[in-house]
Amino acid sequence: MLTVDFTRFPLAAGDRVLDLGCGAGRHAFECYRRGAQVVALDRNAEEIREVAKWFAAMKEAGEAPEGATATAMEGDALNLPFPDESFDVVIISEVMEHIPDDKGVLAEMVRVLRPGGRIAITVPRYGPEKVCWTLSDAYHEVEGGHIRIYKADELLGKIREAGLKPYGTHHAHALHSPYWWLKCAFGVDNDKALPVRAYHKLLVWDIMKKPLATRVAEQLLNPVVGKSFVAYATKPHLSRAQA
């Protein structure tokens, strides 16, 4: 399940891509399939080991085109182990809401991105996320949990302050908002509640089968209750005077 829309955020074969805070690796895997040179970085060692296994399995199965590369590594988003202008593309999906120094993370992403490069940032959307916080403290008051809820204008303002130029936004995963509202209402760790189990089955069916009815429904509902807010931006080239 991808949050970044690659029709709005196109990749070229050979693009150097950093998936920052990659988690289970969903965006890194898609970039690898598209022929990119991918680095998937996360602070969670266990998840990085799993991502590395999947990269190896994809290579063995021939899922990535010739020339594509993939590396999984541990790292700190506030102190990236890469030289300036190392990447053509940076993706950070559902990460910034966890990090106290979000401006520091933005600064590091801008540092490692080449001029003319592109960034995709996704965070939980304000409205659906606010419902979750209202229904359940346990949803966000956990170690490593969400520490803030972004309003769209606030996030775009921080992106501009970091020196990036936003060029597009959208919302995603409307069908997932009711699931998390149910989880918060019945207990975030209570997977046995009938409404939660029933809705989870619906989501799994939707992801596996991709029926037209749910695809159309989600497209219609995304502007209203999309779970994620997605922003795309570029790093401008320096003028001669600035250089």
- Asked if 112 and 88 touch (Cβ cutoff 8 Å), the reply is no
| Cβ within 8 Å of residue 164, ≥6 positions away | 106, 110, 119, 233, 234, 235, 236
> What confidence tier does 58 reach under pLDDT thresholds 50, 70, 90?
very high
Torsion of CA 4, 7, 8, 12, to 10 degrees: 90
- Asked if 70 and 40 touch (Cβ cutoff 8 Å), the reply is yes
* Percentage with pLDDT > 90 across the chain: 95
pLDDT of residue 142: 87
- Segment 101-126 shows an average pLDDT of 98
pLDDT of residue 239: 56
pLDDT of residue 242: 53
CB atoms inside a 10 Å sphere around CB 200: 14
The string of pLDDT tens digits covering residues 13-26 is 999 999 999 999 99
Q: d(Cα 136, Cα 138) in Å, to the nearest integer?
A: 5
**pTM to 2 decimals?**
0.95
pLDDT of residue 75: 97
The string of pLDDT tens digits covering residues 166-195 is 999 999 999 999 999 999 999 999 999 999
Q: What does 190-216 look like in DSSP terms, one character per residue?
A: ---SHHHHHHHHHHHHHHHH--HHHHH
pLDDT of residue 243: 45
